[in-house]
Amino acid sequence: MNKDLEQFERRIIVTGGAGFIGSNLLLLLVPKYPDYLLVNVDCLTYAANLSNLRPIENHPNYVFEHVNICDRSGLKECFDKYAVDAVIHLAAESHVDRSILGPADFIDTNIMGTFNLLELARARMEQKASFRFHHISTDEVFGSLGETGYFTEETPYRPSSPYSASKAAGDHLVGSYHKTYGLNTVTTNCSNNYGPYQFPEKLIPLIIRNAREGLPLPVYGDGKNIRDWLYVEDHCRALDLVFHEGTAGKTYNIGGSNEIENVVLVRRICRLMDERLGGGKREELIEFVKDRPGHDRRYAIDASLIQRELGWKPQHSFDAGLKATVAWYLDNEDWLDNCISGKYLKYYEEMYSNR
């Protein structure tokens, strides 16, 4: 290993670091762990935005590699170049509606991409037997709940969409690499995240954006589907904890205990925007639209294992987190506009094309 690499206590690939959760995670980890080299491996799909990472892009312990996790030889070069000893795997096609329109990319990235990473991790076990593999997944793998009950780590998998089925396949592969090859894995299954840097196709930034423009606010079906929301910073703190302290081979559920019907959430966003911007009742823009096929009714997480074992609990109340989120998108209108127009892609060309 060369001297530049030897100075780092750990060398970690973070896949999908230019996406919503990945950006928030790197903004937490890079300054917090100056002795770790954090290698952001991302192929920059429509959902990525490297400008999120401006505050850390010149840190000596951060590098970006423009690599697709479906390209095993490109990935291998990264593993070798940085003598990697851990992976935190967030890269995914992540939008359920897109998976219904066209599942192929979901199968490639979420299953084959995960498989490529596992194979390279398995090979690295020869140099580093304790190679750590943290797989980031979703509560959607469990399917839908009725009016009562919670998802625990023992809940059987019943994915409904091509997205959740592809994530479930990834989870099973990761579990099998622990059981079969003794790979030091952890998997986390988290509920819906919200907060800064989320691509505005997802419910909360979509509603903020449309309400700002006076456009219709589409709500699926009767609007009574329930999601359990967690502020992204709380998720990232949980990931930090599980990566470092989670038991090998285990899975941990992460959730905010904030169950709310979609339509109630949309009304709350409207009220927050009315308070801030004035100009009439935005909830009158709500339009109920034809339901998503296979739409899960209710998700709710039992997060008692991570609370008990690792001492994690969310720090942001839903009221405070939602208020901060609405304020962030309104204060960062350029970010939203650049996302929608695709202008942020220019940032990549300016920053990285000559490197």
Ligand X SMILES: NC(=O)c1ccc[n+]([C@@H]2O[C@H](COP(=O)([O-])OP(=O)(O)OC[C@H]3O[C@@H](n4cnc5c(N)ncnc54)[C@H](O)[C@@H]3O)[C@@H](O)[C@H]2O)c1
The size of the interface with ligand X (CB under 6 A), counted in residues, is: 31
Instruction: Report the residue from 13, 14, 42, 217 that binds ligand X according to the rule CB under 6 A.
Output: 42
Contact status: 190 vs ligand X (CB under 6 A): yes
Residue 12 found at the interface with ligand X (CB under 6 A): no
Closest CA to 72 of 112, 12, 127: 112
The reply to whether 33 belongs to the active site is: no
Q: Which entry of 82, 163, 231, 252 is annotated as an active-site residue?
A: 163
Instruction: Answer yes or no whether residue 196 interacts with ligand X by CB under 6 A.
Output: no
Q: Which of 28, 63, 70, 305 touches ligand X by CB under 6 A?
A: 70
CA distance 72 to 116: 6
Our CB check for ligand X shows the closer of 182 and 310 to be 310
Q: Does 344 bind ligand X (CB under 6 A)?
A: no
Dihedral sign, Cα of residue 199, residue 344, residue 332, residue 324: positive
Least Å distance, CB 330 to ligand X, is 20
Residues within window 86-105 making contact with ligand X, judged by CB under 6 A? 90-94
Residue selected from 13, 14, 27, 47 as contacting ligand X according to rule CB under 6 A: 47
Using rule CB under 6 A, residue 43 touches ligand X: yes
- For the CA atoms of 90, 226, 268, 257, what is the dihedral angle to 10 degrees? -70
C-beta of 78 vs 270, nearer to ligand X: 78
Cβ nearer to ligand X, comparing 43 with 241? 43
CB of 198 to ligand X, least distance (A): 7
CB of 23 to ligand X, least distance (A): 8
Annotate each residue in 160-189 with x if it binds ligand X (CB under 6 A) or - if it does not, as one string: -------x----------------------
Catalytic residue among 65, 139, 171, 296: 139
Q: Can residue 21 be called a binding residue for ligand X (CB under 6 A)?
A: yes
142 CB burial (10 A radius; 0-12, 13-18, 19+)? buried
Residue 291 among the catalytic residues: no
Closest C-alpha to 122, from 162, 160, 178, 186: 178
3-state secondary structure the chain: CCHHHHCCCEEEEEECCCCHHHHHHHHHHHHHCCCEEEEEECCCCCCCCHHHHHHHCCCCCEEEECCCCCCHHHHHHHHHHCCCCEEEECCCCCCHHHHHHCCHHHHHHHHHHHHHHHHHHHHHCCCCCCCEEEEEEEHHHHCCECCCCCECCCCCCCCCCHHHHHHHHHHHHHHHHHHHHCCEEEEEEECEEECCCCCCCCHHHHHHHHHHHCCCEEEECCCCCEEEEEEHHHHHHHHHHHHHHCCCCEEEEECCCCEEEHHHHHHHHHHHHHHHHCCCCHHHHEEEECCCCCCCCECCECCHHHHHHHCCCCCCCHHHHHHHHHHHHHHCHHHHHHHHHCCHHHHHHHHHCCC
The answer to whether residue 16 forms part of the interface with ligand X (CB under 6 A) is yes
50 is a contact residue toward ligand X (CB under 6 A)? no
Q: Is 260 in the site for ligand X (CB under 6 A)?
A: no
Per CB under 6 A, the list member of 61, 68, 155, 210 interacting with ligand X is 68
Under rule CB under 6 A, residue 44 binds ligand X: yes
Q: Per rule CB under 6 A, is residue 300 in the interface with ligand X?
A: no
Task: Provide the minimum distance between the beta carbon of 235 and ligand X in the complex, in angstroms, as a whole number.
Answer: 7
Q: Measured between alpha carbons, how far is 341 from 8 in angstroms, rounded to an integer?
A: 39
Annotated active-site residue 140? The verdict is yes
Binding mask 99-138 for ligand X (x = CB under 6 A): ----------x---x----------------------xxx
70 vs 324, which CB is nearer to ligand X?
70
Residues classed as catalytic: 139-140, 163
Interacting residue ranges for ligand X, rule: CB under 6 A: 15-16, 18-22, 42-45, 47-48, 68-70, 90-94, 109, 113, 136-138, 167, 190, 192-193, 199
